[in-house]
Amino acid sequence: GQNIDQPTEMTATEGAIVQINCTYQTSGFNGLFWYQQHAGEAPTFLSYNVLDGLEEKGRFSSFLSRSKGYSYLLLKELQMKDSASYLCAVMDSNYQLIWGAGTKLIIKP
């Protein structure tokens, strides 16, 4: 079956760096996505990786290793507004997204 695993919850300190890991097993691979979802709101797109390596976008970076079925989202210079859930999703061979349950990130002052 298809499976996306990510930690349920993480805590970090304002100004620090946090890495959220995601491992996946899917039928086919057409890219990996990270979304941010604030409580009570819709998910919003953060990043897309289809080739191995690191994609950097401001304070956020996303890494992919297809051979290991592994990705991480790196958040630098954490701000209180980064408190949210972070969803990992893989696009399978049918171009549909398979979603992880999300990682709730708590930022403390």
Partner 1 sequence: IAGITQAPTSQILAAGRRMTLRCTQDMRHNAMYWYRQDLGLGLRLIHYSNTAGTTGKGEVPDGYSVSRANTDDFPLTLASAVPSQTSVYFCASSGGQGADGYTFGSGTRLTVV
Footprint of partner 1 (CB under 8 A): 8, 30-31, 33, 35, 41-45, 48, 50, 87, 91, 95-97, 99-102
Contact, 34 vs 73, CB < 8 A? yes
Closer residue to partner 1 (CB): 64 or 78: 64
Q: DSSP letter for 16, please.
A: S
Q: What is the distance of C-alpha 80 from the center of its chain? A: 18
Cβ at position 48, least distance to partner 1 in Å: 5
Distance CA 55, CA 19 (A): 14
Cβ at position 102, least distance to partner 1 in Å: 6
Contact, 103 vs 9, CB < 8 A? yes
Cβ at position 54, least distance to partner 1 in Å: 16
Closer residue to partner 1 (CB): 29 or 70: 29
